[in-house]
Amino acid sequence: MNALTSYLGSKVTPGQAGNQLWALIYVFIIFAGVALTVMWLINWVERKALAHFQVRLGPMRVGPHGLLQPFADALKLMLKEDIIPDEADALVFWVAPVIGLLAAFTVYTVIPFGPSQAVSDMNIGILFMLGVSSLGVLGIVTAGWASNSHYPLIGALRSSAQMVSYEVAMGLAVVSAILMTSLNAQGSGTLSMIGIVRAQQEQHVWFLFKFFPLGLIAFVIFAIAMVAETNRAPFDLPEAESELTAGFHTEYSGLRWSLFMLAEYAAMMAVSAIAVTLWLGGWMHPFPNFLSSPAWEFIFSLFPGLSFAGFAAIAFIGAVRMPSQAFFRIQRAGLAVFAALLGLIALLLLAIAVAGRANDASIASRFREGIDYVYWFLLKIAVFMYLFIWYRATWPRYRFDQLMKVGWKVMLPISLGVLILTAIVGVIF
């Protein structure tokens, strides 16, 4: 009990406080949250957004506006026959998706959702993230190899070449951001994810705008490389449907296949989190320095509640606008209940925002702060997730040699140049 309560007043991460119990609770919350977001929210949003890009409706039948479709799909995938091809290397075939999933989820231990809202504040945080997330390629390569089939093999080879190439440009872009953290009085930079956000706070600027346009270029390089890193369109060559049927997971079905999907989406969120942390000020709300008066703080703290109120309103309008035939009665009721649920969350969040408006050490205030941090962080990630979907709807796919050309001949020189310029500018000013 002592372990449970002693942490509550603390202003550091459970990892730093040495509180294993709370660290475990955080891990559980993050794991469940990510899995649910990926499985339900992103799945649904992607299908709906993509459908609307393509003048379709998307899922409409399972649940109101297809809200329960992801659950139906998950159920279907779990009940599917689990096939391991005869010729496949059964053990490696079995391990491959697990490697991918582990790599994708392990990085969440250092993602700072807030100054204390992280499992741990590792002093080599960003290095750890890049290292572990690049282990994901192992899962893909082993999957392609173990399938003992041509399409997966080619997909896996493409994937490994692609991920290794783009990691170079990505790493250099990250280094240029890390260089910026060292521009303080002590001249000491940091690799800690929380430290990087703090550095942006202290320097009164998001690194996106620092040394304009150097920070912006580095960010764009990273934003492109992270799409390639996660094998998403237009760099989705490893699973290029029209060429390799499904690439490295051609032979996978059912739960194993869904593990790959889970890993892919978790990795997308993880790299988005890196981009948010390094260039977009992490958990900070917009203009943290100009708009930091208590009044502004209060207005910003209303945002989470208002967002949910907005969702609730959308769901409610959807319920009202549903056709009045008997066929839609249950769907309409379901959507109304969902709207009410969202409304309740909105009310709760607003209540917390109002109760915790005094910036003191009270529990309500602590809660309010935490919700703010997590909200802004997740909002920024959501923007990236939407961009991922947008890319997929808009662009054709690169060819393998063109992908390599872009990676090595365009992105690498630019990121090197930005790194050198950042170093020079940093020394001069």
Interface with another protein (CB under 8 A): 50, 53-56, 150-151, 153-154, 158, 233-234, 236-237, 240-245, 392-402
For residue 180, the number of C-alpha atoms closer than 13 Å in the C-beta half-sphere is 34
Report the greatest alpha carbon distance in the chain.
72
- Residue 204 or 409: the one with the smaller Cβ distance to another protein is 409
CA distances from 7 to 12, 22, 25, 49, 258 (A): 9, 8, 12, 41, 37
In the bound complex, what is the minimum distance in angstroms from residue 56's beta carbon to another protein? Answer: 6
**Measured distance CA(33)–CA(56) in Å, rounded:** 29
Taking the complex as a whole, how short is the minimal distance between the CB of residue 158 and another protein, in angstroms?
8
* Shortest distance in whole angstroms from residue 145 CB to another protein: 9
Q: Which is nearer to another protein, 40 or 243 (CB)?
A: 243
Write the CB contacts of 237 (distance below 8 Å, at least 6 apart in sequence): 155, 158, 159, 162, 231, 243, 247, 397, 398, 399, 400, 403
The first and second tokens of residue 124, run together, are 């080599």
**CB closer to another protein, 76 vs 150:** 150
- Residue-wise DSSP of 31-92: HHHHHHIIIIIIHHHHHHHHHHHTT-----TTTGGGTTHHHHHHHHHHHS-----TTS-HHH
Task: Please report how close the Cβ of residue 52 comes to another protein at its closest, in angstroms.
Answer: 11
Of the two residues 362 and 402, which places its CB atom closer to another protein in the complex?
402
Which residue reads 């002093």 in tokens? Answer: 123
Count of CB atoms situated within 10 Å of the CB of 128: 19
**Which 3 state secondary structure label does DSSP give 171?**
helix
In this complex, which beta carbon is closest to another protein, that of residue 366 or of residue 392? 392
Q: Contact, 156 vs 140, CB < 8 A?
A: yes
- 155 Cα distance to chain centroid: 24
Rounded (5°) CA angle 151-398-131: 75
Residues 6+ apart with CB under 8 A from 27: 109, 119
Which residue, 193 or 389, has its beta carbon nearer to another protein?
Answer: 389
Which CB atom, from 49 or from 421, has the smaller least distance to another protein?
Answer: 49
CB of 243 to another protein, least distance (A): 5
Does residue 97 have a cis peptide bond before it, meaning omega lies within 30 degrees of 0?
no
**Minimum distance from residue 265 beta carbon to another protein (Å):** 18
Residue 66 or 281 having the CB closest to another protein: 66
User: Measured between alpha carbons, how far is residue 14 from residues 1, 116, 373 in Å?
Assistant: 15, 8, 16
* Least distance from another protein to the Cβ atom of residue 41, Å: 21
Question: Smallest gap, in angstroms, from Cβ of residue 54 to another protein?
Answer: 4
Asked if 56 contacts 227 with a C-beta cutoff of 8 angstroms, the reply is no
Collapse the DSSP code of 293 into the 3-class scheme (helix H, G, I; strand E, B; otherwise coil) and give the result.
coil
Q: How far is the CB of 234 from another protein (least distance, A)?
A: 6
| Residue number, 366 or 397, with CB nearest to another protein | 397
